[in-house]
Structure 1
Amino acid sequence: MAQDPPAQDLMRYEAMAQDALRGVVKTALKRAAAPEGLPGAHHFYITFKTEAPGVSGPSDLLGKYPDEMTIVLQHQYWDLAPGETFFSVTLQFGGLPKRLSVPYAAVTRFYDPSVQFLLQFEAPAAPEGAAGRQAEPEIKTVAEGEPAPADGEAKIVSLDQFRKK
């Protein structure tokens, strides 16, 4: 008895699920942007593709992380503005304030270590010309429970230790 080929998903359920889960990120950022700020010990590690369409920020900063970058929203972030399709935030890098704008579609991981909540997303398609990159981004790691940097500088962290294997 011959098997029928699997039906093609013309509804694109996987893409719909990814979009719905990115809505969780948007809602969390909207709560963080409220006048009360982040409640309790909540804070976010947000990883995104720096070459994804719509990502913007200082070229020196994004050039330092040619593939992926993780930002931490905890104590020192300013002007968090979650929109419908992207969010913007100002963080300090090297003691200088720098503004980033990130489309939700560019986010690949969202992690709140205070409650061990992790969402992972499929990476967006790489723009033309970016596929040939070989360099890995420089990532500073932060041990769990480590206090915020004393100099007020934002930290870039690797979330490999939190990935499900």
Structure 2
Amino acid sequence: MSRGIDYGNLMHRAMRGLIQEVLTAVQANGLPGDHHFFITFDTAHPDVEIADWLSDRYPGEMTVVMQHWYDNLDVTDEGFSVSLNFGEAPELLYIPYDAIKTFVDPSVEFGLRFETHEDDEEDDEEPAPAPASIDKTDEPAAKPKLGKSGKPDKKDADVVSLDSFRK
């Protein structure tokens, strides 16, 4: 029998399920209205698949924006793949949900942040991972680039810092 209820992992799983559900709806119907996503992920995660030049440029984490131009969105139970435009060069990325650090939709001031704490010691009582937090920001959303599948408007992908959205 387990030592207790692992609320941290249960919350992470539920929030990753929310991301999967949102992306599945976008795959089927496109981005509605002004919705767009900032997705920050761990580029060193073993299951992330990105071009070598992107992993060289962003060795720890990377934030991509899905807004004006994206293509080939394919959502699975483990993660999603999407083609994004980087300086007139489309690149296919595969991002497992476990690699996502933040998922933000600034059009409605919604955000999820996945926090982890690495333990260097192994004790009999291991603390549960820190629960993910849900962020709502009062700051206005920046207008990044990337978006409607099948109708590219020649806008490039932006890698942005989410610091401007944090309080």
Q: TM-score, normalised by structure 2?
A: 0.76
1:48–1:109 Cα contact (<8 Å) kept: yes
% identical equivalent positions: 42
Change in Cα spacing, 1:39 to 1:25, as seen in structure 2 (3 Å) is: same
Which of 109, 118, 122 is the matching residue for 1:116?
109
Query: For residues 9-88 of structure 1, what are the structure 2 equivalents within 5 Å?
Result: 9-34=3-28, 36-88=29-81
1:108–1:123 Cα contact (<8 Å) kept: no
> Which digits, 9 at most, give the CA deviation of each residue in 1:60-84, with x for residues without a partner?
1111100010010111000001100
Deviation of 1:152 after TM superposition, in Å, equals 1.7
- What is the RMSD of the two structures over their aligned residues, measured on CA atoms? 2.2
| Structure 1 Cα separation of the partners of residues 107 and 155 of structure 2 | 20
| Structure 1: gaps spanning 5 or more residues | 1-7, 126-142
Which of 151, 154, 162 is the matching residue for 1:159?
162
Q: TM-score, normalised by structure 1?
A: 0.77
2:38–2:63 Cα contact (<8 Å) kept: yes
| Structure 2 Cα separation of the partners of residues 145 and 20 of structure 1 | 28
Choose 1 or 2 for highest CA Rg.
1
| Structure 2: gaps spanning 5 or more residues | 119-139, 147-152
Which is worse superposed, 53-62 or 109-118? 53-62
* Structure possessing the higher relative contact order (Cα contacts under 8 Å, 6 or more residues apart): 2
| Structure 2 Cα separation of the partners of residues 41 and 83 of structure 1 | 24
How many residues are aligned here? 139
